[in-house]
Amino acid sequence: MPLLGAPPINPVYHYLTRNSALLPAAIWAMLVAGFGEETVFRGFLFERFGKLFGSDRRAKVTIVLATSLLFAVAHLPDQGLAGVEQGAVTGLVFGAVFAATGSLWMVMVAHAAFDLTALAIIYLDLEVSVAGFIFK
């Protein structure tokens, strides 16, 4: 998230760089996070907020914004402000996709793919190169 002032290297997960001993556990964690977080934020909370706000277009926009905010804030304790920024952007994207399609599986797979791609970039020590390619 260099466009928002975040460093190109995610210091929280930098210990995974070239760390083959932790790679299997990290892969498992990315899969669990992708499926688990989407179950909570897009599955459970969308349903609960839908009961509260309704299902019209305005309600869906409100639900996407609310769940994205909660998703972003959930990343604050372990990833700091940069994690909140990234969580807000991905939460908005995943929330919009879920609101448009109603497919929880689609956002679960997308989330896991996003996390696994980030893990590969970190593991291969490509964070600076990828950030430079995309954001400069």
User: pLDDT tens digits, residue range 57-72?
Assistant: 999 999 999 999 999 9
Task: State the pTM of this model.
Answer: 0.88
Could you tell me the two tokens for 55?
A: 């299902």
- Calpha distance 19→74 (Å, rounded): 26
Confidence of residue 136 (pLDDT cuts 50, 70, 90): low
Structural domain boundaries in the chain:
15-125
| 130, 119 contact by CB (below 8 A) | no
